[in-house]
Amino acid sequence: MKAIILAAGKGTRVRPITHDIPKPMIPLIRKPILASIIEHLKRYSVDQIIVTTSHLAPKIESYLRDGELLGVQIAYSFEGLLAGGKIQGLALGSAGGMKKIQDFSGFFDDTFIVVCGDALIDLDFEKVLAFHREKDSIATIVLKEVTLMEVPKYGVVQTNEQGRITKFQEKPTPDKAISTTINTGIYVFEPTVFDHIPPEIHYDIGNHLFPALAEAGLPFYGISIPFQWLDIGTITDYWHATREILLGKVKGYNLPGQEIKPGIRGGLNLRVNFAEIDIVPPVYIGSSTLIEAGAKIYGPTVIGANCQIKGGTIIKECLIEDYTRVKGIANLERLIVFGSKCIDPSGDALDIQETDISWLIEDSRREDFGQVDLPYAQLISELAREKAVTS
């Protein structure tokens, strides 16, 4: 079976992380969301996948290559232009991007699945496909109920008793919303849907195609079945999803590495003496990481690969990227350390260079000078230590 994964978005709401990695490549405890999506599609005999790429396309393409490692065939439809050494996105819209592929090769020759590259799902596609065929639908949307306050983030639908979509409204304000049943960005389409997408113009699935299908009264259906849906739309979503996985609340998500102690997992080549550190689960420790005696780590926390966590530091509920050295009096609480920034779960970021805190957090590939002789760093460290002794 064929599928298309929409991965050309800029991920503006997940900045600053998406400055460096495209949203589908954001790792949830080491594994990019995109890899989990492909593994899931494979369970339903999907073996040929087109991934649309644009923003940071090479990061996706060099990870998946031709799909050999995941056991599927993968092709890319690049939506952009290389100009002045930089990739510039070409706004085709999600439907326009699919139309481009169809006009190019006629790839979609049978019923196919469409998913967005930014949500972790365990949807039973068997059921969705059966419903789609039974209804003789040309486009079927997987629906979910949300609260009224959440509707502005999504497309909202109105269905009749048969599940036929009679109205589609893209990102309405709560007072204008026709329902609280929303589009999850997961679809099953027939190739005939391309008859309703004009060529070579910007055309969006949510903004243009769906309202048009509903308006025209075509066999366009929605199905609501319970499934797990972790949509990584914002930094807060990313933070929340990672914690849920670590806490074991996400069914069927296989954590990497091996369990070292209850609730503590790690990769290979670790150097950690568990008798000499304080560690509270759940914690995942990436491969080749060093944790020195006297460090305190509280979960839910993910420490990346090739990190160095020095003695005396405190890490509490953090996501720390690969190659990070944490040292001195550093006390990291509820932070995402990524791309030389400390980002709090709401998305506010502290730039490590600008704030001049590399005496606390730095790239572990830099030479380790131990105690830094910056006068203010010494002054602050001394005071922190005095206070720790007296209290």
Partner 1 sequence: MCIETQKKDQFLIVTFLEKRLSAALLRMKALIQAGHQYILLDLSHVDFIDSSGLGAIVSSFKLLGNKGNFVLCGVHGAVMSLLNLTRMDRVFPIYASLEEAIRDAH
Interaction site with partner 1 (CB under 8 A): 329-333, 335, 342, 344, 348, 350, 354-357, 359-360, 374-377, 379-380, 383-384, 387-388, 391
236 vs 331 by CB, closer to partner 1: 331
Q: Which among 141, 59, 43, 231 has a CA at the least distance from the CA of 51?
A: 59
Tokens of 118: 């930014």
Question: Of the two residues 126 and 354, which places its CB atom closer to partner 1 in the complex?
Answer: 354
* Min separation Cβ 336 and partner 1, Å: 12
CB closer to partner 1 out of 195 and 373? 373
Handedness of CA 210, 221, 183, 116 (dihedral sign): negative
d(CA 280, CA 16): 29
Do residues 169 and 156 touch, judged by C-beta distance below 8 A? yes
Tell the smallest beta-carbon distance from residue 335 to partner 1 (Å). Answer: 8
Among residues 344 and 363, whose Cβ is nearest to partner 1?
344
| Nearest CB to partner 1, comparing residues 105 and 353 | 353
| AA identity, residue 16 | P
Shortest gap between Cβ of 388 and partner 1 (angstroms)?
A: 8
Both structure tokens of 149: 């306050």
Between 122 and 363, whose beta carbon lies closer to partner 1? 363
Closest separation between CB of residue 387 and partner 1, Å? 5
Residue whose CB is less far from partner 1, 34 or 332 = 332
In the complex, minimum distance from the CB of residue 372 to partner 1, in angstroms, rounded to a whole number: 10
Residue 160 or 355: the one with the smaller Cβ distance to partner 1 is: 355
CB contact set of 280 (below 8 Å; sequence gap of 6+): 297, 298, 299
Smallest distance from partner 1 to CB 377, Å: 6
Alpha-carbon gap, residue 320 to 335, rounded angstroms: 8
Distance in Å, CB of 274 to partner 1, minimum: 24
Alpha-carbon distance of 70 to 19, in angstroms, equals 26
Q: Minimum distance from CB of 357 to partner 1 (Å)?
A: 6
- Terminal CA-to-CA distance of the chain, rounded, Å? 64
Least Å distance, CB 356 to partner 1, is 4
* Sequence-distant contacts of 245-249: CB under 8 A, at least 24 apart: 245/28, 245/29, 246/29, 246/282, 246/283, 246/284, 246/299, 246/300, 246/301, 246/302, 247/282, 247/300, 248/282
Q: Which is nearer to partner 1, 290 or 380 (CB)?
A: 380
SS (H, E, C) 124-187: CHHHHHHHHHHHCCCEEEEEEECCHHHHHHCEEEEECCCCEEEEEEECCCHHHCCCCEEEEEEE
Burial of 113 (0-12, 13-18, 19+ CB in 10 A): buried
Q: C-beta of 359: minimal distance to partner 1 in Å?
A: 7
b or e along 369-387 (b: 16 or more beta carbons within 10 Å of the residue's beta carbon)? eeebeeeebeeebeeeeee
- Residue located via tokens 């779960």: 345
* DSSP-H helix ranges across 157-288: 210-216, 235-246
Residue closer to partner 1 by CB (options 163, 312) is 312
